[in-house]
Amino acid sequence: MRLAGGGQSYSSEAFHANNDPHQPRTIQTNVPDMTGARWTEHAKSSSSTRVPASTCLVTALTLSTSAIQSPNSLRRNGSKELTTSKLDMLETSGNWRVVHFLWHHGDSRHLSRLIQTKPLGAFWERCTYLEDLLTYIKMCSRTYAVNEIQGAAEYVLRQAESLEKVVPDENLHKRLRRIIESATDLRSSTR
């Protein structure tokens, strides 16, 4: 018999060491798999006939809760760790990816940290930071106070205006103008 998860193999003789058909047959073992989970199988044969090991009914399968977490807790812990590692990237070139990640995952808890961070990277990356930040601010407008949303829009406006002084070409200048217009509209629409 082969246990799920790549565990050890047992012959039917080892599995049915107790040949009394009226007694429950139990095997308890530590399965050497990734989780280190403890598997417990109970197989009970019928009182009137003998059942081969290959057809024994598994009546219980328990996993050690110290080794296994529920999918939701894994998702929460993984998401928390991933968010922390992304936020650590705010002070690096291409930090627009952090804003995009937070917006994409609907995580509106970090607005104050984002508006304290300067857009970094190539010129297009700094523009992308401000564009994604505007989208993030709009998402946050449902949960933040009006003055916080106005302050965030004002931050984007100031950053875009400072970039406008050093814009390298006409296409990027048009892009900055759109950012400035959007930030101005957002600031005035929340008054």
- As a whole number of Å, the end-to-end CA separation of the chain is 71
Residue 160: name the closest of 185, 143, 141 by CA.
Answer: 185
- pLDDT score of 115: 97
Residue 151: name the closest of 106, 126, 116 by CA.
Answer: 116
* Chain centroid to CA 107: 11
CA distance linking residue 43 with residue 184, whole number of Å:
71
- pLDDT score of 140: 97
Q: Which residue has the tokens 């930090």?
A: 95
Give pLDDT tens digits along the chain (191 positions): 444 444 444 444 444 445 555 655 554 444 444 444 443 343 343 344 454 444 443 333 333 344 455 556 545 556 788 889 999 999 999 999 999 999 999 999 999 999 999 999 999 999 999 999 999 999 999 999 999 999 999 999 999 999 999 999 999 999 999 999 999 999 999 76
Token readout for 190 is: 């929340």
